[in-house]
């Protein structure tokens, strides 16, 4: 039951982060970002760690390791563009990485 609740929270944070990116679709190059993406990213990290702890030792490392790498790259992009607007390459990289993480999550 606890695992399912945390998984639902994790999915909600992921969907929220994707929604934050989607709302910037038309003005990613002019709009300075707020802290919603940061808060959702931290919540994603925390719920992801909790999910791994709850599932240990039967962790799907073939999913956890690539998603952690993707999370690290997304974090570096967000750090690079702190208090700045995204470039086209950075914005589309964030979208592609977020969708790649989603594909890894649902892949069996």
Residue given tokens 């606890």 in the structure block: 2
Rounded Cα distance between 37 and 14, Å, is: 10
Predicted pLDDT of residue 108: 75
pLDDT class for 70, splitting at 50, 70, 90?
very high
Rounded Cα distance between 28 and 43, Å, is: 23
Rounded Cα distance between 19 and 24, Å, is: 9
Predicted pLDDT of residue 1: 92
Closest among 29, 35, 37 to 89, alpha carbons compared: 29
Q: Is this structure's pTM higher than 0.75?
A: yes
**3-state DSSP helix/strand/coil percent for the chain, to nearest 5?**
75, 0, 25
């Amino acid at each position: 039951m606890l695992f399912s609740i945390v998984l639902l929270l994790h999915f909600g944070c992921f969907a929220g982060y994707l929604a934050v990116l989607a709302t910037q679709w038309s003005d990613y190059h002019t709009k300075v970002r707020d802290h919603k993406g940061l808060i959702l990213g931290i919540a994603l990290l925390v719920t992801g760690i909790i999910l791994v702890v709850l599932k240990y030792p039967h962790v799907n490392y073939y999913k956890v390791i690539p998603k952690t790498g993707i999370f690290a790259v997304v974090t570096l992009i967000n750090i690079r563009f702190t208090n700045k607007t995204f470039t086209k390459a950075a914005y589309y990289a964030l979208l592609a990485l977020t969708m790649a993480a989603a594909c890894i999550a649902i892949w069996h």
